[in-house]
Amino acid sequence: MNARTEIERAVRAAAPHALVETVRGALATAYGARSVQMLLADYGMTVLNPVGPVPGAERSLSMHNSPQGRAFGSQLPLEEPAGSDSVSHHFPVTVRGERLGILSVCLPAARSTPQTMDELAHVADLLGHEIIVADRDTDRYQRARRTTRLTLAAEMQWQLLPARAFTAAEYAIGAQLEPAYAIHGDNFDWAAESEQLTVSVTNGMGEGIEASLLTNLAVNALRNARRAGIGIADQAALADQALYDQHRGSAHVSTLLLRFELATGSVGVVDAGSPQLWRLRGRTVERVYLDAQLPLGMFEESQYVVQNLQLLPGDRLLLVSDGVYETMSPSGEEYAQRGLARAILASRLLPAASVPGAVLRELADYREADTLDDALVVCIDWFGRPRSDA
């Protein structure tokens, strides 16, 4: 049995909380690894936190000013000298486009061969998949992603979310929420199928636990309808009914629902509230204006209508919450007037997974210092379905 197979069997048999220790021991045995460290991206996507026996006992590394951070940003392995006869290798740990962190391995220089690099890249991929599964059974990796304590509302929101990035042949998605450790009402969701992609952005009114509970009800109502195979207009109508039955019109949720037909690039949209849709086509940035319909939960038995858009390969869509486009500069200018288009254009060369963070960093520099409203950005790059040569 070769080393790769032995490592894979050991990792798959490991206890959920012991994945990193298992990988460390296996790499020491198979390759003479002198140190092995797993670092996870924090909720704010600003630092890489080591997965250690005691949370916070080891130093966090900057995502923007460290070799590990550069490997994370580029999504390419990176190596650096580690003494006279050792080399440190940093491998991105990514699962279907979701950037989890970095696996750093220090090897004797003589063992740093191309074949070993290929095998360690496979270990990083394996470890990422196993961490996703292990999250169901242990808090260890959730704790490692934190630089400070989440508010209860934020805890509820992050548990409700899918991954922060996803890739397929036809598209790539990236998303981020701020303030990451104190978010309450904003949310994003998606579901990938063989022929369709459904994406939603929701914003529950209010603050704190009240907003989080409201958003949780709306998102689960939309998921329940979606999983029953219902179209997005009826998804909105059923979620609207669930919210109205619970709150009798005293609370509502703004929602933007999109369903992509992967074979054609046709997109059905239901605009039920405040989130906005923007498009980058070539070097032209413009808001996509939609017929506004009622937010979910305002009235009994509201009806919703689907509008249709056509995407072209190379198009980029951004879904943004009111905490983005309504943010005011110290001079009183809304971000949507000029700042948002500039940020979208400035980030055009970045992959979809990196765009939300870039836009939100620009927003943080733009706004008044005391502004802490929820801000959500979802980026969708449309590639189109690859043509078959058959």
Question: What are the strands of the beta sheet with 266-272, ordered from one edge?
Answer: 186-192, 196-204, 253-261, 266-272, 307-310
Question: What is the reported pLDDT for 56?
Answer: 64
Task: Give the Cα separation of 105 and 157 in Å (integer).
Answer: 34
Question: What are the strands of the beta sheet with 86-95, ordered from one edge?
Answer: 61-62, 47-50, 35-41, 98-108, 86-95, 78-81
Residue segments in the chain with a per-residue pLDDT below the cut of 50: 390
User: Please, what is the Cα angle at 190 between 188 and 193, to 5 degrees?
Assistant: 175
Question: What is the reported pLDDT for 390?
Answer: 44
| CA-to-CA dists, residue 380 to 133, 348, 360, angstroms | 26, 12, 16
Range 326-333, long-range pairs (CB < 8 A, 24+ positions): 326/373, 327/363, 327/366, 327/367, 327/371, 327/373, 327/375, 328/367, 328/368, 328/371, 329/366, 329/367, 329/368, 330/368
Strands 253-261, 284-288: pairing kind: unpaired
> How far apart, in Å, do the first and last CA atoms of the chain sit?
39
User: Please, what is the Cα angle at 163 between 162 and 167, to 5 degrees?
Assistant: 120
* 126 close to 107: Cβ distance less than 8 angstroms: no
Distance of CA 118 to the CA centre of its chain: 27
Strands 171-178, 186-192: pairing kind: unpaired
Place of tokens 């949720």: 253
Question: What is the reported pLDDT for 329?
Answer: 85
Side chain identity, residue 78? L
- What digits encode the pLDDT tens for the residues 254-301? 999 999 999 999 999 999 998 999 999 999 999 999 999 999 999 988
Residues contacting 324, CB < 8 A, separation 6+: 335, 336, 340, 359, 360, 363, 375, 376, 377
* 249 close to 297: Cβ distance less than 8 angstroms: yes
Task: Give the Cα separation of 257 and 51 in Å (integer).
Answer: 37
**Residue 378 neighbours by CB distance under 10 Å:** 28
Helix (H) or strand (E) holding 270: strand 266-272
* 134 close to 141: Cβ distance less than 8 angstroms: yes
